[in-house]
Structure 1
């Protein structure tokens, strides 16, 4: 979902954007929901923008779900994290925020922390009731 045709070597003779268009058309024709995931470990705004473009659809067959794969410590590097936060915000707005900023000028209100073990147990117990 994050790959563009122009990023592929000519000798590969492939079209990731064309494949996504085919799948979107097939899901629309079948009345099925469309879900996707990223294939590569990329944290740049261009890759996130491509997923957002896939999510936007005037015909009503945007993404119903998206799984972000390949999360590792590189995701939490400053620039990568800012891009990811903006991507998540844009996805939660239905992909309407189409441009990822070059930098995070307004700051973020996102918090990443650890869950204490005793809280995990309480949650599990509550879920079993």
Structure 2
């Protein structure tokens, strides 16, 4: 989360905590891994993780565990945001926008999920 997303009454800094942890891991010479703590599927949340994953001083994320995979992940724009996030993470944290169509047949584009959501009914013979 970004600090601006915290209620003022909480008197805390999520971004400050991440900076402290990154500094300590760099000082200790250990690798930093992360995971999402909240159930969020918006582009802003993924951008925050991407920001944390990058580092000019060599203490970015070496691994990330994605929690809260559920049905909601596949609704609306949530799937596209996740796919763009995963692709960005695999490209070293570069923000990559996926096309609506996929000529490489990777099944990652949004239309793949939309096509799969079409209900198919089987016709049966009455018994």
Give TM class, smaller chain.
Answer: 0.7 to 0.9
Tell me the distance in 1 between the aligned counterparts of 2:79 and 2:99: 13
Which residue pairs with 2:101 in the alignment? 107
The total of aligned residue pairs comes to 106
Tell me the distance in 2 between the aligned counterparts of 1:11 and 1:110: 44
Q: Which has the larger radius of gyration?
A: 2
Tell me the distance in 1 between the aligned counterparts of 2:71 and 2:45: 18
Q: Does 1:86 align with 2:80?
A: no
Q: 1:78 aligns to what SS in structure 2?
A: coil
Stretches of structure 2 that go unaligned for 5 or more consecutive residues are 113-127
How big is the alpha-carbon RMSD for the aligned residues of Structure 1 and Structure 2?
A: 1.7
Which structure has more RCO (C-alpha within 8 Å, separation ≥ 6)?
1
TM-score by length of 2: 0.78
TM-score by length of 1: 0.77
Stretches of structure 1 that go unaligned for 5 or more consecutive residues are 113-129
After the TM superposition, which segments of 4 or more aligned residues of structure 1 sit over 6 Å from their partners?
none
Tell me the distance in 1 between the aligned counterparts of 2:56 and 2:13: 22
Q: 1:41 aligns to what SS in structure 2?
A: coil
Tell me the distance in 1 between the aligned counterparts of 2:91 and 2:35: 18
The structure whose residues are more often helix, as a share, is 1
